[in-house]
A and B are shown apart, each in its own frame.
Chain A
Amino acid sequence: MSLENNSEEGRYLYCIVSSGNEKDFGKVGVEDRSVYIVAFNDIGAVVHRCEAKPYETATKEKAGKWLLAHQYVVDLATEEFGTVIPLTFDTILRGNNETLKKWLSKEYSQLKELLARLEGKAEYGVQIFLENDLADRILENSEEIKSLKKKLENTSSGSAYLLKKKLENEMQLSKQLAIDKYAKDLHAKIEKLVDEVKIGSTSKEVPEKWKGKQMILNVACLAHKDKVKNLGNMLGSFKNEGFAVRFTGPWPPYSFVGQINESKIEGSG
């Protein structure tokens, strides 16, 4: 990543912090680049110098390393300055420090507002799974399913096949209805305890421990540090109700800064 050969200059952005002091973090960045702060007023952008082109690689290993380095710098900045506005990997601004300052000044009020909204808060991931015995209980409670099972016992094979298929469909449907209701209730309870909630896909990949369990709710929560204990306690109580809970964090609030990317594109003209 040399800056010679007339290649266009750029700045790789890690995050925006509530600090107006220039600072050098040392060679801790992606590909061991020197990371520093470009400040405007009382806010700053944590960056490294690079070419104005995205980091791209075909190997998973390298991409993983880059992501870890990105995450490491965001964590360092969070430790030092409190909650930051994290930017996604490969956010690169075309230009030099002056271009970046101009952008910071143009977006200043929006960035300040966002920093205020995030202050003292962090993102937490909550994934709720259905334990198998709860799934079974849902199916036992359905009258329709009971009567279908009974009907199946003395039916000839062709008709029995259709009834069996109908039973399977009914079971699927009642399970889905019950899951929707559970997910709605759990979501409402979580929403009361945290500042903001974003719903994610329930078919997301999960670590080995959770595979084989059906995920019924996947949310990202923005929560103030004071509220996290209550959230944890409540999630613990869900376990007694037949759910398995995966609670992760604190993370930089990636899910709650969506607007910022948009403004940047407009800002870059």
Chain B
Amino acid sequence: MPVQIDEDNLKSGLLGVIVALVEVIQEVLEREAIRRMESGRLNENEIERLGQGLMELDAALEHIKVENGIEKTVKSIRSDLDKLVEETIDVMANPERWKQEKVNQNVSGKQF
């Protein structure tokens, strides 16, 4: 499935892809930060600094999205990416469907 970019403008489309990817990385960083916060190895100052850093990243991404009017684009790329991942996992973890899809493709005339 191709990732659809619903903007005519290639530049903002490309920016959308980049922001979407940075958002994915942001989520990973945040999860890791929460894990470290809970591990008890960080003192209060360190937690505060870590949180501040991530908060600033979040604000910067929001700013870029609003500034360039690409909120919708990013949202649709993210949902396309999610779907792609979901489908990939489904195909890998569901051999029955994989087999069925192959059969369906073959049935479309060509095999007969």
By a CB distance below 8 angstroms, the chain A residues around B44 are 159
User: Does A54 touch B at the CB level, under 8 Å?
Assistant: yes
Among residues of B, the one whose C-beta sits closest to the C-beta of A262 is B103
B112 touches A158 (CB 8 A): no
Contact count A vs B, C-beta below 8 Å: 79
User: Does B106 touch A at the CB level, under 8 Å?
Assistant: yes
By a CB distance below 8 angstroms, the chain A residues around B104 are 88, 261
B51 touches A160 (CB 8 A): yes
By a CB distance below 8 angstroms, the chain B residues around A159 are 37, 44, 47-48, 51
By a CB distance below 8 angstroms, the chain A residues around B40 are none
| B interface SS class | helix
Q: Which of B31, B48, B109 contacts A158 (CB 8 A)?
A: B48
Evaluate whether A52 and B55 lie within 8 angstroms (CB atoms) in the complex, with A261-B104, A262-B103, A265-B107 already known.
no
User: Does A93 touch B at the CB level, under 8 Å?
Assistant: yes
By a CB distance below 8 angstroms, the chain A residues around B107 are 88, 90-91, 261, 264-265
How far is it, in angstroms, between the C-alpha of A53 and the C-alpha of B110 when the chains are bound?
A: 7
Evaluate whether A157 and B103 lie within 8 angstroms (CB atoms) in the complex, with A52-B109, A52-B112, A162-B50 already known.
no
Interface size grouping (class) on chain B: 20 to 34
B52 touches A54 (CB 8 A): no
B110 touches A54 (CB 8 A): yes
A268 touches B112 (CB 8 A): yes
User: Does B49 touch A at the CB level, under 8 Å?
Assistant: yes
Tell me the residues in window 87-112 of chain B with beta carbons closer than 8 Å to chain A beta carbons: 90, 100, 103-104, 106-112
How far is it, in angstroms, between the C-alpha of A159 and the C-alpha of B49 when the chains are bound?
A: 8
By a CB distance below 8 angstroms, the chain B residues around A10 are 109, 112
By a CB distance below 8 angstroms, the chain A residues around B30 are 162, 165
Proximity bits, B44-61, A CB within 8 Å = 1, else 0:
100111111111001000
B112 touches A93 (CB 8 A): yes
How far is it, in angstroms, between the C-alpha of A91 and the C-alpha of B104 when the chains are bound?
A: 9
Which residues of A does B touch, CB under 8 Å?
Answer: 10, 52-54, 88, 90-95, 156-162, 165-166, 169, 201, 203, 258, 261-262, 264-265, 268
24 chain-A/chain-B pairs, Cβ below 8 angstroms: A10-B112, A54-B108, A88-B104, A90-B109, A156-B48, A157-B52, A158-B47, A158-B48, A159-B37, A159-B47, A159-B51, A161-B51, A161-B58, A162-B51, A165-B33, A165-B34, A166-B37, A201-B90, A203-B86, A258-B103, A264-B112, A265-B103, A265-B106, A268-B111
